[in-house]
């Protein structure tokens, strides 16, 4: 095994797509076939990576494409700091560095035969999008699939072209919503906050797994709705995004209580999270 832990893969940008203000998606190709093979041997949905621009550094975010698409990876990220700014300044054909896949994954094989409910807010759809496509690429193995996705405004919804595709699919349900005041005159989706929309939708918790990701306030207000619908904490999954540097359990900054988010996470059930000190998140 390669013990040069911080030596990254070289990736080239095949396509770039603007998703929302300050949010871009890159499709990346591995420069070396051996790197690609090594990556997909280990990659399971929910794992993350470190994307870098030499001279600026590395930034941690999810792999937004599923392991069922093995010729490339995709990442979607918002420009919030120096590294993400430098990443967004890159153009198609240019290179970036990538390390990964790291962390644990969503145990989707254990979800076979169950219904799946995805609830996402804003820029938190990308970590869930890889799961959704993974499920859709293996559609027959799972029960009903529903996605509730909200953003502040219609402009802030990411993957607009895919939302249209999901909305048109007969084998899944998509509910999109924007915060009151965030709608445009031609908006066909719902207007309201995610917890309220979920309450109105009232999906059955019977044999259902919920995957939840979004801003802390959305999570906080959505959990009681899920509880009222009868979802057990062990059937609610989320993914944490802590600041990380190494990604491999050494640099010491992603601890929440005794958990190393980069190794024990980023995927946790609500049951697992409830045993961690809330004041450390």
Partner 1 sequence: MKTIETSRLTDLAQALSAAGYRVVAPVAEGGVVRLREWTKGLEIALEAVPVNSMKDFLFPRSEVVARFALQEEGGFTPATNERSTPKTVVLGARPCDAAALPALDAVFNWDYRDGAYNARREAVTIMSLACAKADEHCFCTSVGGAPDGIAGADAILRPADGGKRLVFEPLTEKGRALIPAAAGTLAEGTAATQTPVAPPRRFDPEAVGRWLAANFDSPFWKEASLACLGCGACAYACPVCHCFDLQDESDRRECRRLRNWDSCGFGLFTLHASGHNPRPDQSARWRQRVTHKFSIYPQRFKTLACTGCGRCSRLCQAGMAIAETCQRIEALGR
The Cβ of residue 156 has, within 10 Å, a number of other Cβ atoms equal to 20
- The least CB distance from residue 35 to partner 1, in Å, is 11
Asked if residue 29 binds partner 1 (CB under 8 A), the reply is no
Element (H, E) at 23: strand 23-30
The stretch near partner 1 (CB under 8 A) out of 20-28, 54-62, 68-76, 167-175 is 54-62
Euclidean distance between CA atoms 73 and 187, whole angstroms: 31
Output 164 or 281, the one with its CB closest to partner 1.
Answer: 281
**Bridge partners, 41 (sequence order):** none
Provide the minimum distance between the beta carbon of 58 and partner 1 in the complex, in angstroms, as a whole number.
Answer: 6
- Residue numbers 172-231 binding partner 1 by CB under 8 A: 216
Is 277 buried (19+), middle (13-18) or exposed (0-12) by CB count in 10 A? exposed
Nearer to partner 1, 231 or 260 (CB): 260
Q: Of 112, 234, 253, 275, which one interacts with partner 1 (CB under 8 A)? A: 253
Q: Which stretch binds partner 1 (CB under 8 A): 103-111, 204-212, 225-233, 236-244?
A: 236-244
Interface segment toward partner 1; rule CB under 8 A; list 142-150, 159-167, 174-182, 239-247: 239-247
> If binding is defined by CB under 8 A, does position 22 make contact with partner 1?
no
User: Residue 59 interacts with partner 1 (CB under 8 A)?
Assistant: yes
Question: What backbone torsions phi and psi does residue 51 show, to the nearest 5 degrees?
Answer: -105, 135
Structure tokens at 173: 């349900």
- Nearest 5°: the CA angle 225, 229, 111 is 105
Q: How far apart are CA 213 and CA 45, in angstroms?
A: 15
Cβ neighbours for 223, distance < 8 A, ≥ 6 positions apart: 212, 236, 270
* 28 contacts 11 by C-beta, under 8 angstroms: yes
Judged by beta carbon, residue 121 or residue 203, the one nearer partner 1 is 121
Interface residue with partner 1 among 70, 204, 207, 258 (CB under 8 A) is 258
The binding site for partner 1 (CB under 8 A) comprises 1-8, 10, 52, 54-59, 80-81, 84, 94-95, 97, 216, 241-243, 245-246, 248-253, 255-258, 260, 263, 277, 279-281
């Amino acid at each position: 095994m390669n013990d040069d832990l911080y030596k990254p893969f070289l990736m080239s940008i095949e396509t770039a797509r603007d998703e929302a203000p300050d949010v871009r998606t890159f499709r990346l190709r591995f420069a070396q076939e051996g790197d690609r093979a090594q990556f997909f041997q280990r990659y399971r949905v929910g794992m993350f990576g470190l994307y870098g621009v030499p001279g600026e550094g590395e930034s941690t975010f999810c792999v937004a494409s599923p392991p069922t698409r093995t010729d490339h990876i995709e990442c979607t990220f918002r420009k919030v700091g120096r590294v993400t700014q430098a990443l967004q300044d890159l153009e198609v054909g240019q290179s970036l560095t990538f390390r990964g896949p790291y962390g644990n994954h969503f145990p989707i094989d254990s979800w076979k035969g169950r219904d799946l409910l995805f609830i996402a807010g804003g820029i938190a759809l990308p970590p869930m999008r890889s799961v959704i496509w993974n499920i859709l690429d293996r559609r027959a193995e799972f029960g009903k699939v529903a996605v509730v996705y909200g953003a502040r405004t219609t402009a802030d919804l990411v993957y607009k072209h895919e939302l249209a595709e999901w909305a048109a699919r007969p084998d899944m349900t998509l509910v999109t919503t924007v915060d009151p005041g965030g709608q445009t005159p031609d908006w066909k989706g719902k207007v309201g906050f995610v917890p309220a929309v979920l309450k109105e939708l009232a999906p059955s918790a019977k044999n259902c797994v919920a995957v939840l990701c979004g801003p802390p306030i959305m999570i906080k207000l959505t959990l009681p709705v899920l509880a009222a619908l009868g979802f057990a904490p062990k059937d609610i999954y989320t993914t944490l995004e802590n600041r990380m540097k190494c990604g491999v359990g050494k640099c010491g900054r992603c601890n929440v209580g005794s958990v190393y988010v980069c190794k024990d996470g980023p995927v946790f059930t609500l049951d697992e999270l409830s045993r961690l000190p809330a004041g450390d998140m």
